[in-house]
Amino acid sequence: MNRTQALLALIPAAYVVGSIPFGLIVGRAKGIDPRTAGSKNIGATNLGRLLGKKYFFIVFVLDLLKGAIPTLAAGVLLNFTVENRLACLLWVLVAFAALLGHMASLFLKFKGGKGVATSAGVLLGVFPYFTLPGLAAVVVWGLVFGLVRYISAASIFGAAAFPLLYLLLGALRHWPILDAQLPFLIFSLLIPALIIYKHRANISRLRSGTELRAGRKSL
């Protein structure tokens, strides 16, 4: 099997790994179905509200890893370099498959979480091209969260900042953003679009003033 074939095989594998509903698994192990409790989401934030901070971190890390591991595997095959647009596209497709698995899980009738933790794993996996602007986006997340104490708002602003940070860093480091790395640019726009779309209910609650702040439990 050559490198291209290995990367192609990683795409469906990444989707299956991304589909593992760790939030549901952890919740059921503790006697709760997060799909019917709290915000009815299988992500780390809802598990944290339902079960405590410990379970927020457990689910967050597990969801992060299912994005990071397949994406890192693709990076290893490519020696973490992008030689041409095809190599970049295959790396992006592996990353996207993992994220899509979380948002539209094979095991949950193609429903899933909002993708923040899995996206973070994907950004760590596309090293250094997404890792560096991803870390800067985490700083944006932290600043917004510190100001408003809404996890959803922080996630939306952090996601929206990511493509701008990628473009800025790419320009500073002279990356071929419009050439070999064009798939990266497209994916950098797709990630926040998907995250913001999955947060549309949160946006509605933020506008109406009914969104829960961090530290408050769902009813």
pLDDT digits (tens, 9 = 90+) for 167-211: 999 999 999 999 999 999 999 999 999 999 999 999 999 999 999
Going residue by residue through the chain, which has 219 residues, state the pLDDT in tens, using 9 for 90 and above: 799 999 999 999 999 999 999 999 999 999 999 999 988 899 999 999 899 999 999 999 999 999 999 999 999 999 999 989 999 999 999 999 999 999 999 999 999 999 999 999 999 999 999 999 999 999 999 999 999 999 999 999 999 999 999 999 999 999 999 999 999 999 999 999 999 999 999 999 999 999 988 765 544
Residue 163 belongs to a domain: yes
pLDDT of amino acid 219: 43
Position 100 in a domain: yes
Q: Which conformational region is residue 111 in: left (phi greater than 0), alpha (psi within -120 to 50 degrees), or beta?
A: beta
pTM, two decimals, is 0.92
Q: Judge contact between 28 and 82, C-beta under 8 A.
A: no
What's the DSSP call for residue 202? H
Residue with tokens 């094979």: 106
Taking the C-alpha atoms of residue 196 and residue 159, their distance in angstroms, rounded to an integer, is 8
The answer to whether residue 38 sits within a structural domain is: yes
Read off the tokens for 4: 């291209």
Crossing angle between the packed helical segments 53-77 and 22-29, to the nearest 10 degrees: 150
| Confidence (pLDDT) at 38 | 87
Residue 198 maps to a domain:
yes
Q: Are 66 and 119 a contacting pair, CB within 8 Å?
A: no
Residue 127 lies in a domain: yes
In a domain, 186, yes or no: yes
Between CA 46 and CA 34 the distance in angstroms is 7
Q: According to the model, what pLDDT value does residue 11 have?
A: 98
Task: Please give the residue range of the domain that contains residue 101.
Answer: 3-208
**Residue 84, domain member (yes or no):** yes
* pLDDT at residue number 142: 95
Residue 111 counted as domain residue: yes
Decide: 181 and 78 in contact? Cβ < 8 Å: no
Please give the tally of structural domains in the chain: 1
